[in-house]
Amino acid sequence: MNKAVQIDDVLEAAVEEVGEEPAVDSLPVEIAPRRGASWQEIQENRGLLLSTLFFVTAVLGLPLLWRSRAFSPLAKVLLTVVVVAYTALLFLVTWLVLMWSYQRVANFQG
């Protein structure tokens, strides 16, 4: 029973009444300078969007392309086909390298 009283005392001390000064001063919030480009900036910059598609995201970047206003609908369709083919080529090359490596390891006579 003694423990319950102590916990209640602690809880009552921690609760602030409306209109009272806060028990703890708030910490100052500093806004850090923004670094890098936002997704909107990437979408609207043609070169940045193309480099993101071909060097970073591949097929996963297609929603950025379709949300962009920097390309016409025809250009979006053509770029989608090219990006999908490019991604398929990357997967094919990766598969071929893995199979070549597997054959070398499987046939190793050490």
Report if residue 83 sits inside a domain. Answer: yes
pLDDT-derived band at 43, boundaries 50, 70, 90: confident
Question: Looking at the predicted structure, is the pLDDT value of residue 23 above 70?
Answer: no
Residues 62 and 79: their CA atoms lie apart, in Å, by 9
For residue 51, tell me if it sits in a domain: yes
In a domain, 55, yes or no: yes
In a domain, residue 13? The reply is no
> 3-state SS string over the chain?
CHHHHHHHHHHHHHCCCCCCCCCCCCCCCCCCCCCCCCHHHHHHCHHHHHHHHHHHHHHHHHHHHHHCCCCCHHHHHHHHHHHHHHHHHHHHHHHHHHHHHHHHHHCCCC
- Enter the pTM of the model: 0.62
- Asked if residue 44 is part of any domain, the answer here is yes
Given this model, what pLDDT does residue 37 score?
74
Question: Is the pLDDT confidence value at 72 over 60?
Answer: yes
Query: Which has the minimum average pLDDT: 6-10, 60-64, 70-74, 80-84?
Result: 6-10
Residue 17 lies in a domain: no
- Residue-number span of the structural domain to which 56 is assigned: 38-110
Position with higher pLDDT, 32 vs 63: 63
Residue with structure tokens 């591949």?
Answer: 58
Residue 26 lies in a domain: no
Q: Is the per-residue pLDDT at 3 higher than 60?
A: no
For residue 37 the two structure tokens come to: 């480009």
Q: Is residue 70 part of a domain?
A: yes
CA-CA distance, 66 to 61, in Å (whole number)?
9
Number of independent structural domains in the chain: 1
